[in-house]
Amino acid sequence: MRDRLMNHSINRRQFLTIAGAAATHGALRAAQVQRKTADHTLRIEPIHLELAPGIHVPTMSYNGQVPGPILRLREGVPVSIDVINQSPVPELVHWHGLHIDSINDGAMEEGSPMIAPQERVTYRFTPNPSGTRWYHTHTEARDNLSRATYTGQFGFLYVEPKYDSGSYDQEIFLSIHHWGPSLVPMGPPMNALDVHYKYASFDGRLMSASEPIRVRQGQRVLFRLLNASATEAVTLALPGHRFTVIAMDGNRVPQPRSVETITMAVAERLDVIVEMQSPGVWVLGSASSDDRAKGLGRVVEYAGASGTPVWVDPKATDWSYLDFANAFSDSLPAEEIPMVFAPVATAADKLQSWTVNGKSYPDTPALKVQQGRRYRLVFTNASGEFHPLHLHRHSFEIVSIAGKLCSGLMKDVVNIPPYSSMKVDFVADNPGKTLFHCHQQLHMDYGFMQLIDYV
């Protein structure tokens, strides 16, 4: 894979040499003509996103839209995706939740190449496993909140399973994002800076400016939901209705269950079925009135119904992975790798730095694993914040949450609550550098990362 992707850059350089005096832009266009077309093309390009009439935010997008196009790929069928960087900074695209090689995975720390401005790279991989995945930039923002996952560089990547299952009448993809970020003091005891936002949206539109989701009584609607916020977890409700959670991070849950509210940490996905049995006009929205006021909602309108959309606060917003996992242990012996997450003492009004086992990236030593072995990451969150922990190129199974044993729940992001513990197992079955990090952009940019490497 390294060869194929690298060969392409070499060919492109050679072509540019041959093209000589041709302007970069023209050469790129000529290069596009001379080569075979990839299966999909993403152009990273600036836009002024219209969140609502009169409300525009300048941001970076894929193909001039937010979210980027839904890439529907097929499990086990090789795909090529051209990415052309028309932004002013080096970029790359991470294919989140896929078990692919390090060079194509799209993380600089794993050795994936950066795409210089006006350059192009062709990513080639075989999508696996099936389910609701996504793609997004994997760059650093630090205190520049116009970069990285603060932008509109995200989209759904749905991998069609070899065998489809389940029935539904409508399939609706909805992505969550927050806009207009600014740094504000957190207040005691942390005092460090935190990010606040002006707007929050489904699919890049505020509720006030969105077309309703139109349904009919008796329909089963499948929502594929993605939290593409840079930093914020979100809890959603749809008054008069319940969500049956069938998949987390694209993987079927062992215990599908119907719940009143669903919670998604940064980078998590949920597939939920809603039975439309309560005619009316409703608000599917954030349980937080603040987020709803910022625009995070969508009207659900039954055929023939009219009137003001109805919102009712949910009775409770409890959320536990345990409700969807098997309530027994079923795991094989695994080698334990302890990981303790802690903040670094930080001066007031500065950005908080983070450590894994006492070291901040890039000083964190790479963890060594052997192909074919099973490992248990033993997480201890020694901080007062949630952390959406993400493992690249592998899925893991949650085997323990705060001492409660469980099995069968496969994920690629897990949100660890403050001052708590969690254990997840993974099989080292995909050799190559593998990044582990907190997906909260402020945390990953300030040290919350560690590489895992195969010996």
Question: Which residue ranges make up the site for Cu ion (CB under 5 A)?
Answer: 387, 438, 440, 443
CB of 438 to Cu ion, least distance (A): 3
b/e burial code for range 134-161 (CB count within 10 A of at least 16 → b): bbbbbbebeeebebbbbbbbbbbbbbee
Which residue's CB is nearer to Cu ion, number 99 or number 392? Answer: 392
Run of H or E including 368: strand 367-369
Q: Kindly state the tokens that stand for 184.
A: 């504000």
CA distance 207 to 212: 9
Which residue's CB is nearer to Cu ion, number 143 or number 330? Answer: 143
CB of 204 to Cu ion, least distance (A): 25
CB of 264 to Cu ion, least distance (A): 15
CB of 180 to Cu ion, least distance (A): 22
CB of 423 to Cu ion, least distance (A): 18
Give me the DSSP letters along 376-406: EEEEEE-SSS-EEEEESS--EEEEEETTEEE
Residue 170 identity (one-letter amino acid): Q
Which residue's CB is nearer to Cu ion, number 92 or number 438? Answer: 438
Which residue's CB is nearer to Cu ion, number 298 or number 443? Answer: 443
Q: Kindly state the tokens that stand for 372.
A: 């074919």
CA distance 129 to 100: 10
CB of 150 to Cu ion, least distance (A): 16
Which residue's CB is nearer to Cu ion, number 5 or number 438? Answer: 438
CB 222 within 8 A of CB 205: no
Q: In what order do the strands lie in the sheet with 170-179?
A: 199-202, 170-179, 220-227, 269-275, 243-248, 251-259
Which residue's CB is nearer to Cu ion, number 61 or number 440? Answer: 440
